[in-house]
Amino acid sequence: MSKGFVKIDGTDFSSKMLEKAAVKKIYQELFVIDLNTDNYNLNKKYDIICAAGVISPNHAKPETINYFQKYLKMKGLIVFSLNDHAVEDANFMKKIKFFIKNNKLKIIEKKYGDHLTKIQLRSWIYVLQK
Ligand SMILES: C[S@@+](CC[C@H](N)C(=O)[O-])C[C@H]1O[C@@H](n2cnc3c(N)ncnc32)[C@H](O)[C@@H]1O
């Protein structure tokens, strides 16, 4: 919100995580959703969809990028991180690249930097445009 974003919704498949998010009082709506499925319907479209530390071999699958299309406005942005473990997984990255290409998403920024410094884990941040 301090950066000027005024209408923010949040999602997680863990209701405990959403309880923690609610305490921050910055979210309009919070949805319990498993991003590995597409059997949810939000009835909304967003300017930006952000998935920080969510898309990875142990969490949400690359298909998530596919499912996001339904909720993203034209010219909207998807911002997500891919940590070193994800990038080292050739099969995972093949799918990420496939869904970017198949949905005709434009990579407008890709930046590598610190993520979890205590365990020396770094991440790429991708910004895609519809
Ligand atoms: C490393 S945490 C990142 C949390 C937050 N985005 C942040 O940056 O602090 C990963 C989160 O993704 C959620 N998650 C993992 N797989 C998911 C899935 N398939 N659907 C929805 N949420 C998922 C986990 O419950 C967890 O809260």
Number of domains in the chain: 2
CA nearest to 56, candidates 71, 36, 40, 72: 36
Counting residues of the chain whose pLDDT is more than 70, the rounded percentage is: 100
Q: Are 130 and 72 in contact (CB under 8 A)?
A: yes
pLDDT at 77: 98
Residue 2: pLDDT band (50, 70, 90) is: confident
Our mutation pick for probing the ligand 1 site, out of 8, 9, 11, 13, counting the most ligand atoms within 8 A of Cβ, is 13
Domain hosting residue 29, numbered range: 1-33
- The pTM of the full predicted model, rounded to 2 decimals, is 0.94
The ligand 1 site (C-beta within 6 Å) comprises 12-14, 17, 33-36, 52-54, 59-60
Q: Is the pLDDT of residue 112 over 80?
A: yes
Q: Cα 2 to the chain's mean position, in Å?
A: 20
For residues 64 and 2, state if they share a domain: no
How do residues 33-88 score in pLDDT, each as one tens digit?
A: 999 999 999 999 999 999 999 999 999 999 999 999 999 999 999 999 999 999 99
For residues 26 and 76, state if they share a domain: no
Q: How many angstroms is it from 75 CA to the middle of ligand 1?
A: 25
For residues 71 and 128, state if they share a domain: yes
For residues 9 and 72, state if they share a domain: no
Residue 80 inside a domain? The answer is yes
For residues 84 and 23, state if they share a domain: no
For residues 112 and 81, state if they share a domain: yes
The bridge status of strand 72-83 relative to strand 121-129 is: antiparallel
Counting residues of the chain whose pLDDT is more than 90, the rounded percentage is: 95
Question: Which ligand 1 atom is at minimum distance from the Cα of 35?
Answer: 20
Q: Are 36 and 60 in contact (CB under 8 A)?
A: yes
